Amino acid sequence: MQFTAQQVAFMLQGRIEGDPNVTVSTVAKIEEATKGCLCFVANPKYEEYIYDTQASVVLVNDSFVAEKPVTTTLIRTKDAYSSFALLLEKYQEITSKSGKTGIEQPSFVAPTAKIGNNVYIGAFTYIDDNAVIGDNTHIYPGCFIGRNAAVGENSTIFAGVKIYNECKVGSKVTIHSGTVLGSDGFGFAPQTDGTYKKMPQTGNVVVEDSVEIGANTVIDRATMGSTIIRSGVKMDNLIQIAHNVEIGSHTAIAAQTGVSGSTKVGQYCVIGGQAGLVGHIQIADGTKINAQSGVSKTVTVKNSLLNGTPAFDYKNSLKSQAIFRNLPDLQQRVTKLEETIQELTALLVAQTEASKK
């Protein structure tokens, strides 16, 4: 499917510089683009490619200033990165939808399950009693949807996802392969003889609308009540969310992060990769946690920037790291100062003794 630069600019409310009738049919990175490609430049270090690119159309920020002549057609927008993301979303809708509907065989759909209109259920999928699947939802092969579980409208559940009994998934949700929703939380009571008694996990997982969950992520069911992923949350691959956690709306979490039980993360937070949050704490709205940080206490100030283990104020942590790197040199300087003080002290004592004579 082809689009003209004029059509793309209209969709993005952008401003054209160049040929409005040039057509594009695919997207590409600017350093690899050929004729018919659309790409974008938001990071200044990629601006050098604009002058030689073969791309037919390039999205740029309004602030872009060309240092040399540009032969390609430019579309200026307030935010080229976000504009390109919107186009990729539309492009993916056109190119990646299977277009399939119906139930492939072999599969099992319980007689009491409720399946909406235009639903696709891939082969080797198991839909248990009283499960509900909303209209226009795609469930790819090898999935499990448990008893009384629900998946809303226009959602995409990729191959091999397991949604345990009683768990609820909203509309326009994307869950990537290998993810498990509703596995038991890590609840074991230590006994006097040194063994552990399992605490029954009787709650569920609730995933609200417009959430995306990466591959091989695990979200544990609550001991009681619900583990909740609020609307608009974006989660990377390989994330562990423990029982009774709540992730606030529009929070983004990078890969290999772990959030321990009963912790509440606020709205619009950003958590870097391999970060760890202990249990039973609260993270204020807008908090940003740097990669590999360990958060061990509640964060009460909104829009805090945290770094390190234990995590504390980002700028102060960088100053501390700089001091830490200089410790060997500082140690040598302190040792020399101590030696100098000892020499001066000995000299002063000698002078004092000499003056007494």
- According to the model, what pLDDT value does residue 90 have? 77
Domain span including residue 204: 102-316
- The answer to whether residues 151 and 193 belong to one domain is yes
Q: Model confidence at 355, in pLDDT bands (50, 70, 90)?
A: confident
Q: Tell me, what's the pLDDT at 70?
A: 95
Answer whether residue 336 is part of any domain. yes
Q: Copy the structure tokens of residue 125.
A: 């999928």
| Of 180, 252, 270, the residue nearest 221 (C-alpha) | 180
Q: What percent of the chain has pLDDT over 90?
A: 82
Same domain, yes or no: 92 and 106:
no
First and final C-alpha spacing in the chain: 105
Query: Could you count the other beta carbons within 10 Å of the beta carbon of residue 300?
Result: 10
> Is residue 125, in this structure, part of any structural domain at all?
yes
Structural element, H or E, at residue 252: strand 252-253
Same domain? 120 vs 224: yes
- Domain membership flag for residue 223: yes
Picking from 96, 116, 150, the residue at the C-terminal end of a domain is: 96
Residue with the larger pLDDT of the pair 356 and 352: 352
pLDDT at 289: 97
Same domain for 70 and 13, yes or no, is yes
Q: Catalytic: 250?
A: no
Average pLDDT over every residue of 28-32 = 93
Does 322 reside within a domain? no
The structure's pTM equals 0.78
Tell which of 96, 126, 150 closes a domain: 96
> Is 323 within the bounds of a domain?
no
Helix or strand holding residue 96 (H, E) = helix 80-96
Last residue of a domain, one of 48, 66, 96: 96
Q: What is the mean pLDDT of residues 230-251?
A: 98
In the predicted model, is pLDDT for residue 89 greater than 60? yes
Question: In the structure, what pLDDT confidence band is assigned to residue 324 with cuts at 50, 70 and 90?
Answer: confident
Q: Higher model confidence: residue 309 or residue 63?
A: 63
d(CA 118, CA 126): 18
13 and 90 share a domain? yes
Statement to judge: residues 153 and 110 lie in one domain: yes
Overall domain count for the chain: 3
Mean pLDDT estimate for the chain: 93
- Is 224 in the same domain as 253? yes
Instruction: Supply the pLDDT for residue 151.
Output: 98
Among 138, 176, 243, 250, the active-site one is 243
pLDDT value at residue 357: 66
CA 21 remoteness from chain centre: 37
Q: 331: exposed, middle or buried (C-beta count within 10 Å: 0-12, 13-18, 19+)? A: exposed
DSSP 222: P
Interatomic CA distance for residues 120 and 102, integer angstroms: 5
Domain assignment present for residue 321? The answer is: no
